[in-house]
Amino acid sequence: MRIGSDGWEDRAAPSSNEGRPRFDARNRHSRMCRLKRAAHRAIDGGGGMAQGSLVKRGSGGMVIYRSFRNTDPPLLAELLRAHVGRIDLPSHVTVDLLEQLVFAKLYFDYDGLILACEGERLLGFVHAGFGTDPAGDRLDRRIGVIAWLLMRPDAATPELAGELIQQAEAYLRQRGAQRLIAGSLRPNCPFYAGILGLAEPPGVSQFDELFERALLSLGFHPQLRTITHQRTLPDFEAPIDRRQMEIRRRMIVEATVDVPTRTWWEACLWNEFELTRLDAMPRGSKQPAASAVFRALEAAGFSAAYRGAGLIDITVDENYRRRGLAVYLLSEACRQFSRQGMTHLFALVRTGDLPAEGLLAKVGFKPVFHGTLYEK
């Protein structure tokens, strides 16, 4: 349904393929995830690094480096909760949330999640996976990704962090990785969408200082930086000028709720989140002049620290660029999300992307934290 600039109405995603490529991978991915969960539960004990557990003496005793086991989720959830208060993490992490967003991934490998333990006490973990091919159809095992390293605040030492990263490197190299990336960042973001970062994982977060220092000491180099921006919605006022007034007269906005993902990889990233697409349409036309896709911050069945959304994509047809249309569409999103009771909208941009940074500034977004992508 289309309505004018006074608002827009939700509608279910159509079953046809009108006007844009569609790949309804979300239902298939969800079914496969349920099968994988059942298989995980059927494995007694689980895990076991291919090279065997490694035992080393730490500052407080013997430290065992081993792969993930079925009994580990409560330990991992407790470790994440030890970092409560970080703006880039959920306010409350549960075993069920980790199950839904991490362990149920089709490509989750026990050996890729490596834990450092002292007796029954979890000191920290590193999680490694793989990137995707350009089409988003399958994993590309030539691209190894060290997605995240996290330590207990009272056990965070450079020695432990360095050993975990080296274990992750060995895991990736043994499985064919030729390029090593540190930090989850689209498109090479196998894990932690919805947990790390706000709109999306930012690479290595500025709050993971030990992770960064360990990477630098092991020969990784920063490749690019990201900035996550925030726009509070209760106080939002849309920019008003002659150009924006003209756009409002000429355009209508259409919203599509629960948008299907276009590729297998997008389904892996966003399957557990409601996606909404806004299209700015010239009056009398069926072709969008600009489109933006947002994801709900909270996964299905869970609450997030903020009631809001993350901007994950915005495009403007080349025939309509440099006319203020992106500002109009993003302003309309802020206005309507605010009416729905949302309080925050987030967006991630890469530093140096001046058009994106300028767009966010015009709509009143403010930078809140940065991330860095490392490579070796």
Mean pLDDT, rounded, of the chain: 87
Per-residue DSSP letter, 296: E
The partner residues of 227 in beta bridges, in order of sequence, read 349, 370
Could you tell me the residue ranges of all domains in the chain? 27-223, 230-375
Helices (H), ranges, the chain? 25-42, 73-81, 95-98, 158-174, 209-217, 242-250, 264-270, 325-339, 354-362
Ranges 28-37, 115-124, 133-142, 215-224: which has the least confidence: 28-37
* Token pair in block for residue 237: 């006022």
b (16+ CB within 10 A) / e for 275-310: bbbbbbbbeeeeebbbbbbbbbbbbeebebbbbbbb
Per-residue DSSP letter, 102: I
120 and 112 in contact (C-beta within 8 Å)? no
pLDDT at 18 over 60: no
Distance CA 153, CA 162 (A): 16
pLDDT (tens digit per residue) in 236-247 = 998 888 999 999
Fold of 230-375: Aminopeptidase (3.40.630)
pLDDT at 25 over 70: no
Global confidence as pTM: 0.85
pLDDT (tens digit per residue) in 182-226 = 999 999 999 999 999 989 999 999 999 999 999 999 999 999 999
Fold of 27-223: Aminopeptidase (3.40.630)
Label residue 298 by pLDDT band (50, 70, 90). confident
Q: Do domains 27-223 and 230-375 have the same CATH topology?
A: yes
Share of the chain above pLDDT 90, in %: 74
